[in-house]
Structure 1
Amino acid sequence: MGRLFIDADACPVTKEALGVARRAGVGVIIAGNTTQNLERHVRAGDPRDEASAKHGFWVDTLVASTGADSADFAIVERLEPGDVVVTQDIGLAAMVLGRGARAIGVRGRVYSTATIDSDLFIRAEEKKVRRAGGRTKGPAAFTDRDCKHFVENLEGLLGIW
């Protein structure tokens, strides 16, 4: 089993992802830039590296420099096939899939190589509209159902069923 990376940039399911990783016995790397307090997600008794893991679970932080996509690139540099990444960023999800790893959105959507190109196309078209002064529909409010769907699908990806 690979590791679980969490793109902590505005991630509403970090706590839930850590809970699933604990149950699955998977190591976790929480990634973000220097403006985020990533350590707030780590419990005092959590093992901090694979060597001191309890039942396979450990958690560490990966602090990237500030700047656009710096945490995304820091994650991608470390990915191995079998790893899973939690992200809201379709661009990062595409890079993850390209590295042979898996990606899941915070609402539980498991990204696929079959659909990632169309996802990227839609994102680019919406960006064109916004640059031209138009408006696009933003995401719906995050709900408890979204959180439940995320947990269920992450459990499936990490083999807890």
Structure 2
Amino acid sequence: MIYVDADACPVKAEVEQIATRHKVRVAVVSNGGLRPSANPLVEMVYVPDGPDVADIWIAERAGPGDVVVTGDVPLAAKCVAAGAQVIRHNGEAFTPANIGNQLASRDLMADLRASDPFRQGGGRPFSKADRARFRDALERALRIAAQTPRA
């Protein structure tokens, strides 16, 4: 199963294409506003509004043999701990080896933003290269997940 933290996810179409080729089910989780897919492998999961409701839904279900697509570091940490393969929208993998540093960096950046109310902006724009890296990473993650015994 592929779980997609779908709010603000720029690679939903790529997930659906690759999942269809591999015949893997997908749960696209959001709090609404997304157009349903006609693909029988894609389930749209609409959760109530509220902080981290989609994250909680995914974290309660993801485990060994699953792939999670998210940019949310705390959600990624929970899913990595549960044994899932976890990748960002740009193809970067969250792993047991790097998740601690990812969480620390996230917390540091949150502190920096909070201390400087005039700090503007975000990261660089999402590029074609990011999209290509994501496609490769999802293929890799699905191969690993397929070889992972389920809990």
TM-score for the superposition, normalised by structure 2:
0.89
Give the unaligned 5+ runs of structure 1. Answer: 48-57
1:15 and 2:10 aligned:
no
1:59 and 2:42 aligned:
yes
TM-score for the superposition, normalised by structure 1:
0.83
How many pairs align? 143
Is contact 1:24-1:159 (8 Å) kept? no
Alignment partner for residue 28 of structure 1, among 11, 22, 26? 26
Could you say which residue in structure 1 is the equivalent of 2:131?
147
Is contact 1:7-1:30 (8 Å) kept? yes
Where 2:44 maps in the other structure, the secondary structure is strand
Runs of 4+ in 1 over 6 A off after TM superposition: none
Is contact 1:14-1:41 (8 Å) kept? no
- Alpha-carbon distance in structure 2 between the residues aligned to 1:89 and 1:69: 10
Could you say which residue in structure 2 is the equivalent of 1:109?
92
CA RMSD of aligned residues (A): 1.6
Is contact 2:90-2:130 (8 Å) kept? yes
Residue deviations 1:72-94 (CA, integer Å, cap 9, x gap):
00111112311100011111111
Is contact 2:63-2:79 (8 Å) kept? no
Could you say which residue in structure 1 is the equivalent of 2:33?
37
How much identity, in percent, do the aligned residues show?
37
